[in-house]
Amino acid sequence: MHKKILSLIIAALLCLSLAACGLPEEKIAKAQEKYTQLADIHNQVVEAHKNVEDNSLDEELTKLQSRASDMGAFNLAEMAEEEIDELIQDMDSMISEYEGYLAQLSNIKGAEEEAVLTPIVITLQNRTESSFLELRLYEQGSSGAQVNVLEDMEGFVPGQYLAGLTVMRDVDNTPWVISLTDANGTEQEVMLEVGEFTEGNISLALCHDGESGELTTEIIEAGSDDGEDEPAEEAESEGDKEAAPSSESDSDGQEAAGASDDGTGAE
């Protein structure tokens, strides 16, 4: 209820006219500018409030909304300069309050996002016939730097396991992307639908689709009886080196990744 009311006030504020006659032009311009600032910060708070689940600020924001709505009752044409000065001071005070609530809402949003992030550690096996010289793992839509996990390794060769890759599943199940560049310089991407990953640790097989030839991943069933998912022959010794973190920032939840012949990853 409160969120809907807060959303409607902007329409009312933006329709308010501060035009007046018989007053100094500078005074009118100052009042109009201050009102524009008030409407802008209110709009920011409305949007921030929509994006949080916490309703602890609803009562305070509703009271502030009521005060902002009262601004529509003022008519500059009927006010003295001193009264307009007081009105500008009131709007300054309200802007300051809105800024404080905006900071609180930002902190609340951050805490809510952190609370719902689920780390998932991935072990990736190369079941293709290709060797890859670069591998980047990042959240879809990320604009940060994307680190090459294989930077200190000689590559990710067929049969090799790469352990310690970490993705963070958020409340929206935002997909992650594995970007791979092979020895010929061809770059391919694989989408990871992390919403399908229910375990804290998961093993994936990197494969080529038989029809399209595109890269895909398959979840490896742990403990298969036929030993199908046992690690392949040991990869190049350089593959056992610890790799650089694969995320662009600490917030992406990446940890060091290592290649191994037994799927456990280098330490």
Q: How confident is the model at residue 237 (pLDDT cuts 50, 70, 90)?
A: very low
Structure tokens at 48: 């921030």
Question: How distant is the alpha carbon of residue 209 from its chain centre?
Answer: 30
Total residue length of the chain: 267
157-234-259-160 Cα dihedral, nearest 10 degrees: 40
pLDDT digits (tens, 9 = 90+) for 224-234: 344 444 443 33
Q: Residue 181 pLDDT > 70, yes or no?
A: yes
- Judged by average pLDDT, the poorest of 3-7, 123-127, 182-186 is 3-7
Q: Residue 166 pLDDT > 80, yes or no?
A: yes
Cα–Cα dist 93/39, whole Å: 13
pLDDT digits (tens, 9 = 90+) for 190-208: 999 998 887 789 999 999 9
Q: How confident is the model at residue 155 (pLDDT cuts 50, 70, 90)?
A: very high
Q: What pLDDT sits at residue 254?
A: 44
Q: What pLDDT sits at residue 215?
A: 94
Cα–Cα dist 176/124, whole Å: 14
Cα–Cα dist 175/179, whole Å: 13
CB 192 within 8 A of CB 200: no
CB 134 within 8 A of CB 248: no
